[in-house]
Structure formats: structure tokens, C-alpha cells
Amino acid sequence: MKIKFYGAASEVGRSCIFIESKEAKLLLDCGIKMAEPHEYPLIPDEVLASIDAIIISHAHLDHCGYLAHALSIGYAGPIYSTKPTYELVNILVNDYIKISNPENITKQGIAKLPKQFVLKEYHESFKIKDVEAKLLPAGHVLGSSMIEINANGKKLLYTGDANFRTTKLLDAGYSENLNENILITESTYGGDEDMFPSEKITLADMAASISNTIKNNAKVIIPSFGVGRAQEVVLILDDYMRSGLIPAVPIYMDGMVNKAMRIHRHNVIYCRDELQKRILMNDDDPFKSKNFVHVLSIKERKKVIQDKSPCIIVTTSGMLSGGPVLKYLEQLGHNETNKIIFVGYQAEGTRGRELLDGKRTILIGKKRVNITMKIEKYHLSAHADRQQLLHFISKINNLKYVFIVHGEKFKSEQLKNSISKKLNVIVPSILDEFSV
């Protein structure tokens, strides 16, 4: 089996892994890097057009944002994913194209996007020439998968983005009885420092902080991926409001968060049993709380901004790389009683990362915006932390090679150092190629 890394090697973003068996050429993920400006995987168009199949792990743009390009330059094969991933990809990719207007995208290419998907259930085997493939639950976001490839007597597992802890929405990533010779693992939080307090403690701290801001009559902004942990946070905040732990104020949702909530609701069979039961057994639909207010127009957004009363605003994009969150920051960012709370990973080169690193002006379009609001971060990531990654890797039988990707280089190296005694471990660089 040949493996080549066209992206996400010693970086987070533009996941795009080429796999070649005796008969088949596959691509695991086809994403872009959300830095400013966006970066694309280094796969030549003629290689991309000649692939037999693309398998998408999940709907985040760093794993699927290059699909419209692939279709525009003539890729005509199937795109395999789960049903929620298919629905979310179509929404998120179209939204990304509308906002960013990337080069080399044709109308015909975009039109092909929904048509070329082939939907698979978790654990269902499917054939691509001499390759047998399978999607396994990854616990990261709705519909997210790890991808198992079985070809020419070798088994390979690609984690995509994975979380091995149960969350409010999702079961933990699958990790039972895995037999794999080759692992390609993410390492977003694989660094030595990436040990975090229990989520219970983190959530309690965050609730107290939000409560304070609300009591000060101010606004809390939570930047969110269209699909990510922030949506779970919304459900958790609603629970807290119902139990009186934090004062009941409107939780405004703006942008992609709204559509994504609907997709979660009708794909609830891909969520945890507990959530399904809550909907099926009584009328208490957690996705339709009266605390949730959907912001559906620019006029409504203006009203939210101008209204003097306290509230929580959950809006895209999660790393401040675009979307309505920038409109809110422009208007609300210079009020020091307001607060922005980050709950997701902030990649290098994004405005979100700049704020966390201490910068207090950000560039929005051509405008410099001073940010004097309070800035806080709570670790509620949808990614496995170091301990979980190590535990997961130790549970896999017959493992020989581990490729560590989707992490800042020093973190990938630190993860490598903790497992390299027993295994052949490689932190690839972009365009590196291996035969295994």
C-alpha cells in the first residue's frame, strides 16, 4: 500500500491523504486550511481527477472544503460518507463558497456535489476495486467517522478527527477489538501539555463565568463551528437555565448554527440514546427549547446587537475566519463588560488564535477593530486529548506503523516520543510518500 500526504502533515488543516492499493487509488478527506488566506492541499489536479473514490471522514471544511474544486476539475467518482456528513457537507461547502468565492470552482462542479455522494452506515463494508472499506463512529461531530481500509493483506485505520469521550450529543469514538497494521492518527491535542481537567469542572467554571456576565447586564459571544462542541454547549446552557444555575436569557443562534441544529434534530438516531429517548418518550425536545432564538435576518441581527439586555450569542465561524461572528465583534467587541468565550480549537493563522495569543486588534475586511471585551477559553474540544490518544493507540492489536497527522508539528512530535519505543512512528511532512 502506498500512502502520500497532500495536507494535514505537521499542521492542522487541508486533510488530504492519498492511498494506493494494487488496483485502486483513494483519497481520505479532501479539505482546505482555514488560515488567512485559505490554503489548499498540494494534490495536482490531474492526480485528483484520476482518483477512484473519495471517502470523507466528517463535515468540517478542513476535511471536505476542497470537494467543490475536485468536482470542478473533473473528478467523477463516488464520495463516500455517512448520511449526516453528506447533509452537513452540502450546507457547509456551499456556504464556504458563497462567503469565500474560491478560484477554479465551476457552477457545474458545485451542482455535482450532492449527486456524487454514496451513503454508508457505520460498520457497513463496501468495495472499491481491491479495497474493502468501512466507516466507524469517531465521536467528533454528528456523522463523523474513522475510516478503515483493508487491501492487499494490510489493514489501515485513519482516525479523521476523533473523540473517545462520551459527550452530551454523541457516543465516544469506536475503539473495541480493533486489528490494524497501520494507523493514521490525528494529534490536535497530542502534546505533552494537553492534559485537561474533567469536563464537569470546566463546564461548571464556564457556567459561573457566563452567569457573572449576564448579571452584569452584558453579552456573551460563543464562536462556533457550524457543527461542533458549541452546539452541545447550547444544549448544556439550556439545561443550566432550566435548573436555575444560570439566569434565563435568550440564547441567540446566528448563521450556520441554525441549519446544523435542524440537521441534528432529524438525524437524532446518530446521537446518543439518551437524547433520542428524551425526544421519543416525552414532548421535551432539547433542540426546540424556548430559550433558543434563531436570528434569521440582518435586521434581526441588528436588533440583537442594539438591545441593551444580556444574552448569549452562538454564531459562526468558530475560529473567527468569517461569518456573522465578525459582525457581532465589530459592534460588541469594544465593550469591556461583554465577553467572548472560545470552546473549540483555534488554528494557527486565524483571528481566534490571534486573540488567544494576546493580540487586541483584529482586521475585519479593511477595518482594524479594537477588542476590549473579556476573552476566555474553556477546553471543551471535540478532539481526543493526549491521554485518550495514548489509550486508544495502546488498545489496537497488530499495530506496526503509526503516522501522526493533523497537529502542530511539536505536538505530533511529542506524541511520537511517547509511543515510539514499541512502534514505527512517523510524523510526515507535506508531500511525503511511504510504502507500507
Note the residues at the interface with Zn ion (CB under 5 A).
60, 62, 161
Half-sphere exposure of 356 toward its Cβ, with a 13 Å CA cutoff?
20
- Distance CA(319)–CA(18), nearest Å, equals 27
3-state SS, residue 255? coil
C-beta of 162 vs 295, nearer to Zn ion: 162
On whether the CB atoms of residues 323 and 361 are closer than 8 A, the answer is no
Report the nearest approach of Zn ion to the CB of residue 346 (Å). Answer: 13
On whether the CB atoms of residues 306 and 313 are closer than 8 A, the answer is no
On whether the CB atoms of residues 433 and 36 are closer than 8 A, the answer is no
Report the nearest approach of Zn ion to the CB of residue 229 (Å). Answer: 10
- Distance CA(239)–CA(245), nearest Å, equals 9
C-beta of 62 vs 232, nearer to Zn ion: 62
C-beta of 96 vs 328, nearer to Zn ion: 96
Strand-pair partners of 251: 292, 312
Report the nearest approach of Zn ion to the CB of residue 224 (Å). Answer: 13
Report the nearest approach of Zn ion to the CB of residue 434 (Å). Answer: 21
C-beta of 62 vs 238, nearer to Zn ion: 62
Report the nearest approach of Zn ion to the CB of residue 161 (Å). Answer: 4
Q: Say if residue 37 is preceded by a cis peptide, omega within 30 of 0.
A: yes
Report the nearest approach of Zn ion to the CB of residue 84 (Å). Answer: 13
Report the nearest approach of Zn ion to the CB of residue 344 (Å). Answer: 9
Residue matched to cell numbers 482594524: 368
Strand-pair partners of 370: 361
How many residues belong to the chain?
436
Q: Name every residue whose Cβ is closer than 8 Å to that of residue 107 and which is 6 or more positions away in sequence.
A: none
C-beta of 88 vs 182, nearer to Zn ion: 88
| Strand runs labelled E in 46-130 | 53-55, 79-81, 117-119, 126-128
Work out whether strand 79-81 and strand 53-55 pair parallel, antiparallel, or are unpaired: parallel
Report the nearest approach of Zn ion to the CB of residue 207 (Å). Answer: 25
Q: Give one DSSP letter per residue of 51-106, joined into a string.
A: -SEEE---SSHHHHTTHHHHHHTT--S-EEE-HHHHHHHHHHHHHHHHHH--TT--
Half-sphere exposure of 109 toward its Cβ, with a 13 Å CA cutoff?
20
C-beta of 196 vs 374, nearer to Zn ion: 196
Report the nearest approach of Zn ion to the CB of residue 240 (Å). Answer: 26
Residue matched to cell numbers 488498545: 395
C-beta of 212 vs 267, nearer to Zn ion: 267
On whether the CB atoms of residues 22 and 153 are closer than 8 A, the answer is no
C-beta of 63 vs 259, nearer to Zn ion: 63
Dihedral, CA of residue 239, residue 268, residue 320 and residue 344, to nearest 10 = 70
C-beta of 62 vs 194, nearer to Zn ion: 62
